[in-house]
Each structure stands twice: as structure tokens, then as C-alpha cells.
Chain A
Amino acid sequence: MASRDPASSEGTDAPLDTNLLKEIARKALVDSLNSVNGAKTLVLDPSLAGPLGLVTEVALLKHHGVDKMFWLEAGPLTSTTSNIIYLCRPLIKHVKFIAEQIKRHAKDAAKHTYTLLLVPRASTLVTRILEEEGVLGDVSISSYNLQFIPIEEDVVSLEYESVFKDIWVDGDETAIYDSAQALITLQKLYGLFPRVIGKGDKAARLTALLTSSLAQARTSSAPDTLFQSSDKIDALIVLDRRVDMITPLLTQLTYEGLIDELISIKNSHVELPTSLVSPPTAETTGLAAATPSTSSGTLRKENKKKYHLSSSDTLFGELRDLNFSAVGRRLNKVARRLEDDYKASRQAKTIPQLRDVVGKLGGLQSEHQALRLHTGLSELLVPMTRTDHFNKSLEIQQDLLASYNVSEQISAIEDLIAQGAEIELVTRLLCLASITGGGIKAKTLDNIKREILQTYGYHNLPMLLSLASPPLAILLPNPLPASASATTLPKYPYTSLRKSLRLLIDDNPEALDEVENDISFVYSGYAPISIRLVQCVAQRGGVLSNPADRDKAVRQGDNSTIPEGKVQAHAINGWKGFEDVIATIPGETVDVIQQGVGRSSASPPLGRPMENTITTVVFFLGGCTYTEIAALRWVGRQNRGRKFLIATTGIVSASSIIDGIAGIRKTGGSSSKDAGI
């Protein structure tokens, strides 16, 4: 398939220039730093290091007077400069650390000037706590408005860590407000979203906030873009994570998704053994590959190094969205080509030929290095995908999705508990069973819960309760107890959706390897509901049948007329055609048309034929998975004239969601006091 190559088809017309956002974030940071005169010590919230690393680099900070950097954590702080800047999110925990450090300095009679930069905005809460701790007078508080960070050309993210838990477990809707503000900023840059389409209660809340904040943003001297419908964006699609809880619970099967599942990606960085990341010194490749030990225990001990996964690594750009089963073949192909290139270079005889070769050599070497890295990485992954638990869980997932012999699946989950599988794995499968099956038989559920508590400890009870409590409600008994049934949402109509949205694709596995016929390739046969919903709006044909199939038919029928082979994307027309399906999914449905006002010339009619490529923004409130990004990119490739810009509060996976609910925070490498980005 020619269109498969991302470089050729996407390179020319990138959706929107998201680098603008990066520039804005960077400039805001520099301005904040410059507002404090002289050398300064920067104390950084570890959870911000990742996001900041995507925006700036240490050199830039040094250039603007940052002398030393520390992590913000409990314990004393020794600083040589008189200026100390704290950069953190407005969390109570952080503020307490800061207050502690300031008080200690006061006791030691160390004189410092404190500046507190809060991300993304100052908060009353912080002021209040500083006041309670008695240090408010010593700190000048301002804010650093870090909003969407472009983590990829077509993906922008707020990089919040615990949005899902905040919204659906704690009921803290700060993230919704911040998202609305960030979307306003997008509109300031690119113009009004002509239409906002959404699904889910929180999506509706966000849309409402968006409209009301827009009205407020307009009053003060706002740029013209806030008054005119955008000519680059045709719609914003808002999906809250609660609308599709199934997808993130499944094991992601694309290359990038699998890396996230098994090794975990944080702020686009993955921790890999040093030998893989750094350029080859000896034949380390061979060695690393020779020890595919079954448990990753030995690997853990090796020194780790962070590696930035992005499409600047061309090979990764090619691989990231492939189903893992196809990765080996692609790597093989690249290796062959590389070998040929090397061979060709050796055959160079004449001087001009040699010059050519020398020119290419650097490229070849970096390609070689990338190949080595990804071969090594997939070799790391393969043994992890061969374990019993991994395969058993895949099997259970597939069967649950097909509603095949549900009670047997549940006892299989029980077996996993007996075998001591990880609690995350058990929990995600259990939730999946509950959602797909409309609850688990009350008695069985109690039994399993008991097993979980006995096996993993009784302190897990609050997590189980959170999973069952109303706003989330993804682990429910069937039937519901009489008292609870009134308050909870209607059941998730998975079985009917499976039919109406064509969620399960009976692709034979061989065919799947050859072409990706449908977004279901990301889960080897299951199409993510969230992306199907996007298709309902932006690619109606794709929901009903495979565009690729139809496309093939067209090509066979008439080869000459449509050389591109792609269908022109249709105009956005709300949920039209799928109203009934959408209505069955719990949560509010949103469809708002935003009109330009006042000074704008007549806004472009909504149904106009699209000559130029237009962008549709898809916002995932509560995070999205790498597979969903991959699937959406696939959807974008199927049509001419429409690109997607994926916006999200963060990247999630089943384990990050469940860890979040359980209140486990995996801190990465903050052992050293010196901070780095």
C-alpha cells in the first residue's frame, strides 16, 4: 500500500503548525526566568521535568541564569544563589515541601529570595497553605502557563498525570477547566472551532466551559481569531474517557503501545538499558540479544538511560503504529536495504562516487544506530510477550470482547489470581469483564474481590470501592443492589455497540499482516470504540465497511480515473446517521455550532466543499492510548482533505489508570538530588 509510508503522504501538508505552541511555552518560560534578576537556583517538580523536557533544554535554562537545578522533594535545600525559583504544579504536597525548606532557611538565617512559579496558573489553595505555614510573605507567586505541548507533529498533550483519577474518582475537575483554557489558546492561534461535537458528561461540561470561557476571553482585547471561524480547523471532537473505558483496558498491540504496556513510556521517553541507547562501543548488540532472560530482573539491574521516542527517529516513525507482529518484518526489510546501501558504498570507485558515499555515510550510520536500537528493543519485548500471563490475558480479552463463555473467562481470571499474577493485570481484566458483560454476578464478584484482598492485601479495598463507585462504575455486580441502581449510569451497551459500530473484525491473521484494513489492526481484531466514534463524525463510511476494501474495489474497477485512490473526506455534519447508536451510550451528547461574531466577515458555510486540507481536532479528556493515536492516524490516511490533530490531557494505559486509582505513584529516577531534564 503506497499510502502506508508516512513520510511521503504526510510530510507535505502537516495538519497545523504545532511548533507554535512549543515556541509560546518556551518564551513564557524564558520570560518567567528573566523576571528574576541574576543567577538563580531552579527547584523543579519532578512531574514537570518530562513535559518541560519536551519544550526546552537545559542549555536554554543555563543561558537564562539558572545556576543549579534540584528536584522538589522533602528535605532541606542548600542553595548557593540568593534567588530560588520553585517551578511546580499547585499541589498541596509540593507547597508543604517548599514551606518546610523556607522555614529551615529562616532558622539557619540564610537569606534567599523565593519565587514560586505555578503551572499552569496561580492558585488560592497554594496561597492559603503558604499562609497557614506562615511563609506567604517571603514568597512572590506567579504562574507559568504551560498548556498544550506538541509531543508530535500531530499530537498535542497537556501531559497531566492523574487526570483520569482526578475527574472520575476524586471529582476534582481542575483538568477540565485547564483543558478549556488550553483549547481557548488553540482557538486564539487558529480561529474558532466552527463546530464542537462531543460525547460524555464531562465532555459536555468541557464544551459548556469552552463556550462560557470564550465569551469571557472575547471581552478583553482578544485577537481577531477568537471572533472568526477557523479556516484551518473544521471541528473539535471531544470524547471523555468514560465514554470508552474498554479500549484503554485492553493490551495495546502496536509497537509503541506495546512498549508502553511492557516497559512504560513517560512523557515520550522510555528507559532503556544504556547499551541499547548509546552508540556501539563493542559488539554489545550481540551480547544484549544473547541473553533474552525470561524475567526482566536481570535487565533492571543494568544501567538505564532515557531515550526520546519521536518521529525525529525516522525508523521509529515508521514502526510506531505497526502491529507488533509486523515489526519484525519491517525491521528485516530495513536491515536489507541498509546492507545494500553499505554494499553500494563499498563499490564506489571514482572520486565523485566516493564523495557521494561520504555524504551519505552519516545518514547510513544514524540509520544503522536506529535499526540497532529498535531491533534490540523488540528483542526485549518478545520474551515479555511470550509469558503465560501475557498470552492468557490476551486470550481472556479476546474472548470477553466476543462475549464468549464469560463465566469461563472469569474463572480464568481467578486462576490468574491464584497463580499470583500482577494485581494490575487482574484488575483490568476484571473491569473489562464487568463492562463488556454489564456487571459480574454478585456472588462471583464478591468471591473474586475476596481473593484479591487475600492475595494482594486488604489495603486494596479502597481501590475496589473506587472502581465500583458511581462516577466511574467500571466494576459492578449484576444485578446492582437496589440502593445503588438509582444513582448509577445506565449500563454500557457493549454487545449492541459491537454490532452497530462493527467493533470486532474477522480478519484472518495472515491478511492482517499484509494490509491494515481497519483501525482494528491496533488491537489485532478489535476496533477501539473511541476512534469508531470519531469515524462516525469524520469518516462515516469507515464505520460501516472498510474503506480500504472499497477502495480496492474502486481501483480494480477503474484504475485510470483515481490515481490517488483516496476518497475526498466528507464535511462534518455532527453525529448525523448515528444518532441512535450514540444515544445508547451513557453520557450526554454534544453538538454545538460556534458562530463567529461582530467583526468577522460572513463565516464560511459549514457544508462547503473542502478544497484544501482541513484539520479536525480530536480531544481526549482523561487521556488516550498510543493505539488510539495510531488508529486515528490510520483514519487520517484513508481520506483526502482531512488531517487530525490529536489533543489529549495525557497519554494513558491500563496500568497508569489503575495505578492512579490505587494511588500508586511510580517515581522515576529521582534518586539523585540534582535535577536534569
Chain B
Amino acid sequence: MPDHPTASWQAMQDGNVFYRRQQLYSVSGKFPDFADYIMAGCRYGGPIAVMRDTTKLVALGRATPAFGKSQIQVYSPAGEGLLMISWDQGKIIRVGWTADESLVVINEEGTYRVYDLQGDYQQYSLGSDAAEMGVIDARIHEDGLVALTGSLTFLEVKGWKGTRPLTLANPGLPEPPHSWAIIPPDLNISRHVEVLLSSEGTIFSVDNLESVDQRLSQGPFTHISPAPNGKTLALLTFSETLLVISTDFQRQITEFDTRTVSAEGQIQQVEWCGNDAILVTWSSVAVLVGPFADTLEYFYSGSLFAVTEPDGVRVMGPDVCDLIQKVPASVLAIFRPGSTAPAAILYDAWQSFTERSPKADESIRNIRPDLAIAVDQCIDAAGQEWEPYWQRSLLNAAKFGRGFLDFYNPTDFINMGQTLKVLNAVRYYEIGIPLTYAQYIYTLPSYIITRLTSRNMHLLALRISNFLGMKPDHVLKHWASAKILRTKPSAVAGSDGELGGDEEVCKLIVDNFKKLGGADVSYAEIAKRAWEVGRTGLATKLLDHESNASDQVPLLLTMKEDRLALEKAVDSGDTDLVYHVLLHLHQQLTLGSFFRLIEDGGSRLAPASKLLQVYAREQNRDMLRDFYYSDDRRVESAVLALDECSRMTDPNSKTTSVKAAQKFFSEDKDRGFEAKMMDEYARLLTFQQQLEKEGDGKISFFGLSINETIRTCLLNGMSKRADKTKADFKVPDKRFWYLKMATLIEIRDFEGLDAFSKSKRSPIGYEPFVHCLIENGHPKEAVPYVARCDSPKRADLYAECNEWRLAAKECKERGDKAKLEALRKKCPDSLMQREIDQIASSMK
């Protein structure tokens, strides 16, 4: 039987609060001596990265792993080596971990790499400015980093996709801060990262808008450490006094003088234990400072390293890896000596029951009203316990209590059982992920799967995901990628063997996916992986299984399958994807082969060709011209020429463009009409230039339409020229008459109008004359034209000219009584009405 849970407890604060030191793993000799190294730990039971501290001397010949100056070792909390990275870049200034357990390493040139646990990395840079100034320090949080540059400004990077760094407000520091820390965006009210830095006696808080002096006086501080929830801040002054204040700097919570602790040397770390206690470490002592400055001391046999967890603190020493945390309420209620909580009594009852003692029944009866709560507490306590033995007994106690309840929903019980199975599996030292129940709930089960796959533990990941009823996609995808990496065809096998290998691997992957239900896995991603490791054949084979076109295209492009990429892009209907391919190909290929690719595509690639034209029309006209030319598209070439013509102002080049268009049209036998029109256009332009010369350049003709040309001629008294335009361009009589009539009326040349109307029989009749005159407010002048209209319409037309008498007379002549009556009704004034009446009566 393992030790009773209380064996690891220690009381604080007059015995009301207990902290426990749970030994997770025994790691004797597995870690290097932390005193000589720089460490970075990953939260949620993650690995630690260890790097030689070059500022410290190392005794030669000590039995340490012989790693050179620029190597980074990654260990699991159980002390298993996970990864070794050799660093070939500039001096490393900081290492840290992302939310998904990737190791971030940033160097003094502002270059940073994000490594996964297999040692594959992405490299990004903070930009040339940062490289110039140099980076002197950095803080890495789960979703980004903040770098302090040589010119003492801060650069923030959000996420790990290599986004452009943002400059934070400049605090105007005279010298590098004594210490600094960041509060990650998701813990801030503003949802933007906040930098806290100690300068002189005070602390500045800096975000991307402003830098605020928080007006403290106890500084400067050697350590600034925000709590995991970002609400409180632990500060350590040069005089080694620990201050705990709220992050809004309004409240001081605790003050504690660390010199009261009998420890040697300097303070190494100030880390939070959950959100309510602080662990201060020296080289072999760790002191836990509670909220009321009570302390607990923990001794280790050598130097140690602490990693803050949301519900405790993980401490790694030379021999052990411990978790120090506040004893959870449910556990406390059950195991606290002398506890009379219902859960404690239930547990007691169950023990009595196993000992076949009748006390069991009595105990149960005692807590009958609170039995449900007791059961829940037992279940929860099971989750908080580390040893399977105690987990089991607590669950058994819960099960026992449940039997006495009439209605009980067993979901919690079952879930806890499942969860504990998973947790115990991953806590096993070979896996080495000491995740607590609270952390597990907080990080979601899918996180565990990701962490296992990133350690290449696919079988366990798959089993867990099946056990928890999750989709196996992620695991399968990762497995396939890993598989491809591992099964590199051996160089000896020759080409045949290689092909066979591709076939085999592809089949293996596809079969496994089908068998394990990974229908939604993106084959494109896996194919990309294959391509990256140089297995083109395998990549092509895998791509065939991909159903989503937009995923296939980028890979096809990198594989130089241009034609196929373009076809797939067109099929996807996503125009942006088509542009992506087109622009890429335009850069990669010579213009000739680029055009040929599109033209050869025929109707299949027609949409791509259209899109290219849309793009080129706006951005690259020369290319468009070449494209039309190379494809013998005469009409389009002509239209393009015309379009350019419309943008030009210079008469000569305009005429040239029109002539070019004419030539293009004339080369297409179906475009005779258009060619003729362009010919006319060119003639018109020349003629207009001539007209402008005649008008001494005062009248502008150039670019007008034929109608406007005629009109302008008439407006400027060049009626001969107007006639010539009509004759030269074969303007039909009708149109000419309308135009001339309207123009003459516009300039009130009524004599000219009269002469014009009499020049020959009007091809448009005379009604338009009347209407047009009336519309332009000349009813008087319209009257004479009424007489020349058809007789049935005259009466109405006269009426429109306000000539009621004439209208009435007209009716009389025609003997149209009904019309007369209508006129009388419409007539506006009574005088006229009477007159009409008279005429009407005279008709009888």
C-alpha cells in the first residue's frame, strides 16, 4: 500500500491550509546540474529545455553529458531525453515554449525558430531593424513573444506564424530594465500584451498604445513574476523583500522578507504555485510563501528548477521531480485528520464496509442527507490523487455511497473513471506527461492527443482518442507524415524498389485511413510532407486521393505540375486560387510558354484565360497586348486599342490607335462592319482636326461624335461644314433634320429654322418642330409650323401652343364637334371657354 495521502502534506497558516509535495518521478542523475544551465519549462507537465549557461564555469572532466556550447537538450519531466538541437546561429538569448509544446529559440539577431519535438523547425525573423539593433532579451509566452531590442524598444510578435512584429510604445528607458515580464494578451482586459519592466524605483507597464509609470518606490526589482491568472504580481527587490501586488498596482497583498530564510546564495527563481502562493528558490532550498507570508521550506540535494503550473508548481531537483500544490478542497475534506465532512464519513464507511464492520451502516445513515455531495466529493478527490491505489479506493467509496442513493446520475463517475485511465497512462514515466486533473480539464482532451503525436506515440494517441470517442484524423495525419519520414527508401534499393516503396507506403496509408475511419484527413497535407522529403512519386499518388481542389493546388505548383494545378484551380471555382496559380506561373515561366499553357488549355482553361485578361487590363496592358497578339485575337486586340485610344488625349496618337484598331478588325473577315466604322472614325478625327484649324483652334471638335460635330458646326455658324459632315459621313436625312432643328431652336435662330424648314419637304414632318419649340418655351414661334402638320392633329397642337382660338377654328373647319367639346374642357380660362362655346354654337 502506498503512503497515505497525508504523508506528503504540510500545514500552513495555523493548520487551516495544507500544501502537498507530490513526488512525480524519481530522476536521479538524469538531468544535468541545473546550476550550470539555463532552463525553460513548458506548462501543463511539459518538457524542459536545458542549455549551457556560458557565463558559468564548468569544471572539466565532470560526468556531465558532453554537450558543447550551442546545444539545447529537451527532457521530459521524468528525465527522459526527448530531443537534442544543435544551434548554428547567433547567440541564443532566450528559449521558451508555445502552447502546443513547440520550443522557441530566439537569438541576438532577432531570428527565431519554432521547433517541434521531432526537431523540425520553422525559422522567422523580427525584421531587419531588429537585426541591426540586436535583441538583448525576450519573453516568450504561449501565443507570441516580446523582444527587447538594443535600442531599448519592445517588439511584439503575435502567434507563431511569422507575423510582422509590432512595435510597442516606447518607455524611453535610459538603460536596460533590471528585470521585466509580460502578461499574455488573454489575461489582460485590453486583450493586448502588456510588458512590465522595472526601471529605477518603479515599474512601467507598456502596451502598444502607451507606457505608464506605476509610481512604485520600493524598486528596483530583480524579479517580476505575474501569477498564472495575470491578476497578481510577485516582485523581488534588491534588498530581497518579496512583494505581492495586484496587477493594476492598486493593492499590496503581502510583503515578506526573504532574508529571514536561512538559505545560502542568491535567489534563483520566483515562481508562482497556482495563483495563491509563491515559490522562491535558492540553489538547494525552495520556500513556499503563502498569502499571509507564512512559509514552508523544502530541501533538495542540489540545484533545482521550478515551473509554474496553473494549479501548483513543478520542481525538478537532482533526484526527484515534485509537484507542490495546495491540497484540493475535496481531498482535504476526506483525508484531513479528524475531518467530519460527509465525504470523510462516507470514505470511512466504505472502509468499515470492506472490513465487514457494522459501523458502515451507521456512518451512512448519519450522512444520509448529504450523501450525494459526499459521493461527488469522493469522485473529485479521486481525480486529484496521484496514486492509482487511492484513486481506486476513492472511486470505490463513491460507488459504495451511490448504492444508497435512489436517483443518481452516474455520468460524472464514468467520466472520472475514463479520465483517470487516460491520465495514468500519460503520467507513466516512459511517456512523462505529469498532467493534473485540473490541467487536463482546462486543456481539453484533444491537447493530450496532440502532445502524444508530437512525441510520435501514435498507438497510444490512437487508443486514447478511440477510448474517448474522438475522431482519429489528427493522429492518422501525423502518423502518415511520420511514416513517410521514417520509410525513406534506401539508396541501395534502386529505382524499381523505390517505386515499389511508394506504392506500398501509399497503400499502407490509404488502407489505414480507410480502416480507422479517417475519411476527412487531408491527403494534400500528407502529400506535401512527402514532397518535402523528396518523394515526388509518393506525393503524386497521395494527391490523387485528395478531394479538395484548393488543397491540391499549392502543392501541385511546388511540384511544377503547372497545367494540372491550373486545371484544378479552375475546377474549384475559387477565382482567388486561379489568380494564385496564374500569378505564380507568370513569374516562373517565360511569357511565351505561359501563354501557350493557357491557350492550349482550350475551353477547360477558359475561365483562367478570362481572369488573366481582367487582371492584365488593369495592371499589365503590355502583357495583355502580347497575349492577344500571340493568340491571334484580332477583335480583342482592336478593342484594347480602342480602349487605349479613349484614355489618350494627344490627337495623333489617338488617330494612330484608331487606325491600329481598324487594321485588327480588317484582318478578321467577319468584322468588315467594324473595320469600316473604324475607318470612318479615323476619317472623322482627321476631319475634326481640320475643322479645329478652320476655327482657329477656338472651337474644340476633336473626339466628338458625328452628331456633336454637326451640332458644334451649327452652333458656331459653320452650317456649310455641317452639310459637308452630313454628306461625308452619309448621315441620314431624318437624323440630320432632328439635329439641325433642335440646334437651331437651342440658339433661337428662328429665321434659320424657317429657312431650313422650307429648304425641302421635311423628312420628319413638322410635328417635331412644334413639339421641340414648345418644350423649349417658344409656343409663339411654334404656331406657324402647326399649319404644316397633318390636319387631324392641328387642333391639339394649337391647343398645346395655347392658341385656343385657332384650335377651335381648326375643329370647326373639320366639323369635329367632339374635339371641340374636349378642348372646352381642357381650356384654362373662362374667356376662352366662352369663345369656344360661341364657335361651337356657330357650327350648328
Contacts and interface: CB of A to CB of B under 8 A. Distances in A.
A177 B573 contact: yes
Contacts of A219: 520, 522, 548
A125 B579 contact: yes
A350 interface: no
Nearest to B711: A420
B152 interface: no
B732 A451 contact: yes
B611 interface: yes
B96 to A, nearest CB: 24
Interface string B599-641: 0000000110111011100110000000000000001000100
A34 B163 CA distance: 18
A388 B771 contact: yes
A419 B610 CA distance: 38
Interface stretch (A261-269, A455-463, A490-498, A601-609): A455-463
Contact of A458 (B548, B684, B764): B684
A197 B781 CA distance: 63
A65 B28 CA distance: 57
Contacts of B768: 419
A576 interface: no
Given A124-B583, A462-B639, A484 B576 contact: no
Interface in B677-736: 677-678, 680-681, 684, 704-708, 729, 731-732, 734-735
A417 B764 CA distance: 13
Nearest to A181: B574
Contacts of A123: 576, 579
Interface stretch (A209-217, A433-441, A633-641, A646-654): A209-217
Nearest to A454: B706
A132 B575 CA distance: 20
Contacts of B735: 417-418, 451, 454-455
Interface residues of B, number: 66
Interface in B548-601: 548-550, 572-577, 579-580, 583
Contacts of B681: 453, 458
B579 A172 contact: no
A170 B673 contact: no
A113 B166 contact: yes
Interface in B157-191: 163-164, 166, 190-191
B301 interface: no
Interface in A554-611: none
A454 B681 CA distance: 9
Interface string A120-147: 0101110011001000010010000000
B300 interface: no
Contacts of B574: 177
Nearest to B620: A132
A450 interface: yes
Given A125-B615, A420-B707, A458 B573 contact: no
B208 interface: yes
A128 B731 contact: no
A334 to B, nearest CB: 29
A106 interface: no
B643 interface: yes
Contacts of A216: 548, 550
A113 B684 CA distance: 53
B739 interface: yes
A75 interface: no
Contacts of B607: 171, 173
B670 A481 contact: yes
Kindly name the residue among B163, B548, B573, B611 whose own CB sees the greatest number of chain A CB atoms within 10 A: B573
A17 B21 CA distance: 57
Nearest to A415: B734
Given A124-B583, A125-B579, A173-B607, A419 B209 contact: no
A174 B613 contact: no
A176 interface: yes
Interface residues of A, number: 56
B163 A173 contact: no
A172 B642 contact: no
Contacts of B706: 454-455
Contacts of B677: 449-450, 453, 458, 461
A180 interface: yes
Kindly name the residue among B190, B192, B209, B735 whose own CB sees the greatest number of chain A CB atoms within 10 A: B735
Contacts of B606: 171
Contacts of A176: 573
Contact of A418 (B547, B674, B734, B775): B734
B670 A484 contact: yes
A74 interface: no
Contact of B705 (A125, A212, A456, A465): A456
A38 interface: yes
Interface in A402-445: 414-415, 417-420
A132 to B, nearest CB: 8
A140 B164 contact: yes
Contacts of B166: 113
Contacts of A20: none
A8 interface: no
A483 interface: yes
Nearest to A453: B677
B610 A483 contact: no
B646 interface: yes
A129 B674 contact: no
A173 B573 contact: yes
A30 to B, nearest CB: 13
Nearest to B775: A294
B618 A180 contact: no
Contacts of A105: none
Nearest to B772: A419
Contacts of B771: 388
B642 A454 contact: no
Contacts of B208: 37-38
A170 B610 contact: yes
A414 B635 CA distance: 26
A449 B550 CA distance: 45
Nearest to B710: A454
Given A172-B610, A465-B639, A483-B670, A93 B731 contact: no
Contacts of A358: none
A382 interface: no
B646 A215 contact: no
A462 B732 contact: no
A418 B705 contact: no
B750 interface: no
A37 B764 contact: no
A177 B575 contact: yes
Contacts of A458: 642, 658, 677-678, 680-681, 684, 705
A57 interface: no
A484 B669 CA distance: 12
User: Closest 4 A-B residue pairs measured CB to CB?
Assistant: A171-B610, A457-B705, A418-B735, A92-B618
16 contacts: A34-B191, A38-B209, A92-B619, A123-B576, A124-B577, A128-B579, A209-B573, A212-B573, A420-B742, A450-B677, A455-B705, A457-B705, A461-B642, A461-B677, A461-B678, A484-B670
Interface of A: 34, 37-38, 92-93, 113, 121, 123-125, 128-129, 132, 137, 140, 170-174, 176-177, 180, 205, 208-209, 212, 215-216, 218-219, 294, 388, 414-415, 417-420, 446, 449-451, 453-459, 461-462, 465, 481, 483-484
Interface of B: 163-164, 166, 190-192, 207-209, 520, 522, 547-550, 572-577, 579-580, 583, 606-607, 609-611, 613-615, 618-619, 635, 639, 642-643, 645-646, 658, 670, 673-674, 677-678, 680-681, 684, 704-708, 729, 731-732, 734-735, 738-739, 742, 764, 768, 771, 775
Given A171-B607, A173-B573, 20 more contacts: A37-B190, A137-B164, A140-B164, A172-B575, A172-B610, A177-B575, A209-B573, A215-B547, A219-B548, A418-B735, A418-B738, A446-B673, A449-B677, A453-B681, A454-B729, A456-B705, A457-B704, A465-B639, A481-B670, A483-B670
